[in-house]
């Protein structure tokens, strides 16, 4: 049976430093959540508090509506029935794959232990590796063993702390999808901590973007990309540039790229300075377009080029174009806007996000 996890108004202090401020979220049984943010934002501290390794200064952590952590009470971590997968996997090098998985099953009968090990090895695609040792496995295989070991005793909640960070980008995304499938098959409520948005998109049902100890936005990956709540989320999720503009009508903003129609921030009247978020897929390469920009950088991605283009004003924007449009540095190219999801913020001093 899957379990519910709830974090209410959580605060964590290290001395006089408040590293977590008013964090609240709830994961329903079987749901996979993700704490996403840059290094030092507090996401691992939240995870450690759920696990029982840190004590709250305020707020509560509950499993199935029962408090396991508060400023007055902290259930011992070994009594929480929470599994954890660490960044370095922490496998025992002197134990076989099967014995690594068996480690948390001491209270089970031998028959039940063996059945659980057999089932998990099949689930993670390592049925023929039971007698192998960790050093004989690839990084991805070791990660699957660590996951199987954490799931073996059927924990109430599973915590994953940057479990794919030591792997290359392609393998990280692939494993994130595989781990999601395994967790859904086992119906386990889980939290992933990562700084990699592609891992978060591949694995999580709900994503909490964190910065400076606070939740900036709690949403789906789609909404984080297309409807960021603030400048930080717009910067952190995806690639983009904030282009300065001026509100010229009830639903119209004038920019160097032309007039753009869409919802403007509440209270912004004509004359109000704003920033418009422009993603690479918002700018279309078009040789017949009246507007031109100069190529200042490019990255070949197989089917596409990601161009960095400098406008007349000096502002740089990104453009994703099919790779048969092969332009050189300092070459002028025609561009036009094709924006489906307009994102506008009140003006900030810096207009360059990346």
Q: DSSP secondary-structure letter at 330?
A: T
Superfamily in which the 240-346 domain is placed by CATH: Nucleic acid-binding proteins (2.40.50.140)
Residue 119, Cα to own-chain centre: how many angstroms? 30
Tell me how far apart the alpha carbons of residues 197 and 200 are, in angstroms, rounded to a whole number: 5
101, with CB counted inside 10 A (0-12, 13-18, 19+), is buried
- Are the beta carbons of 151 and 158 closer than 8 angstroms? yes
Residue 296, Cα to own-chain centre: how many angstroms? 30
User: Comparing 34-48, 68-82, 320-334, which segment has the lowest mean pLDDT?
Assistant: 320-334
Query: Phi then psi for 135, rounded to 5 degrees?
Result: -70, -15
The domain segmentation of the chain, as residue ranges, is 5-232, 240-346
Model confidence band, residue 205 (pLDDT cutoffs 50, 70, 90): very high
Tally of helices (H runs) and strands (E runs) in the chain: 8, 20
205, with CB counted inside 10 A (0-12, 13-18, 19+), is middle
Instruction: Give pTM, 2 decimals.
Output: 0.87
Evaluate if residue 351 carries a pLDDT over 60: no
Sole residue written with tokens 């199935």: 64
What is the reported pLDDT for 115?
A: 96
Evaluate if residue 352 carries a pLDDT over 50: no
pLDDT tens readout for residues 287-307:
888 889 999 999 998 899 999
DSSP letter for each residue of 25-91: EEE-TT-EEEEE--TTSSHHHHHHHHHTSS--SEEEEEETTEEEEESS-B--GGGS-EEEE-TT---
CATH number of 5-232: 3.40.50.300
Query: Phi then psi for 70, rounded to 5 degrees?
Result: -160, 180
Tell me how far apart the alpha carbons of residues 135 and 137 are, in angstroms, rounded to a whole number: 5
Higher pLDDT, 289 or 69: 69
């Amino acid at each position: 049976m899957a379990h519910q996890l709830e974090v209410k108004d959580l605060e964590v202090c290290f001395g006089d430093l408040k590293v977590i401020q008013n964090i609240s979220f709830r994961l329903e049984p079987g749901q996979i959540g993700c704490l996403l943010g840059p290094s030092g934002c507090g996401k691992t501290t939240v995870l450690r508090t759920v696990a029982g390794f840190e004590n709250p200064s305020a707020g509560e952590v509950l499993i199935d509506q029962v408090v396991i952590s508060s400023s007055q009470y902290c259930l011992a971590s070994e009594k929480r029935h929470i599994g954890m997968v660490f960044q370095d996997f922490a496998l025992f090098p002197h134990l076989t794959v099967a014995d690594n998985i068996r480690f948390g099953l001491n209270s089970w009968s031998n028959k039940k232990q063996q059945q659980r090990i057999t089932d998990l090895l099949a689930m993670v695609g390592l049925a023929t590796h039971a007698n192998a040792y960790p050093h004989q496995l690839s990084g991805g295989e070791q990660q699957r063993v660590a996951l199987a070991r954490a799931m073996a005793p059927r924990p109430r909640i599973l915590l994953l702390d940057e479990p794919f960070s030591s792997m290359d980008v392609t393998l990280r995304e692939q494993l994130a999808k595989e781990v999601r499938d395994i967790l859904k098959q086992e119906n386990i409520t889980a939290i992933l901590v990562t700084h990699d948005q592609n891992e978060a998109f591949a694995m999580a049902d709900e994503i909490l973007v964190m910065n400076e100890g606070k939740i900036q936005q709690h949403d789906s990956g789609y909404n984080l990309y297309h409807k960021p709540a603030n400048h930080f989320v717009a910067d952190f999720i995806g690639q983009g540039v904030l282009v300065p503009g001026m509100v010229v009508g009830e639903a119209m903003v004038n920019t160097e790229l032309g007039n753009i129609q869409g919802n403007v921030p509440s209270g912004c009247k004509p004359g109000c300075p704003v920033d418009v978020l422009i993603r690479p897929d918002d700018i279309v390469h078009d040789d017949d377009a009246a507007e031109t920009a100069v190529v200042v950088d490019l990255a070949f991605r197989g089917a596409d080029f990601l161009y960095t283009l400098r406008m007349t004003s000096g502002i740089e924007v990104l453009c994703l174009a099919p790779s048969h449009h092969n332009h050189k540095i300092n070459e002028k190219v025609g561009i036009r806007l094709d924006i489906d999801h307009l994102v506008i913020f009140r003006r900030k001093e810096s207009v360059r996000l990346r």
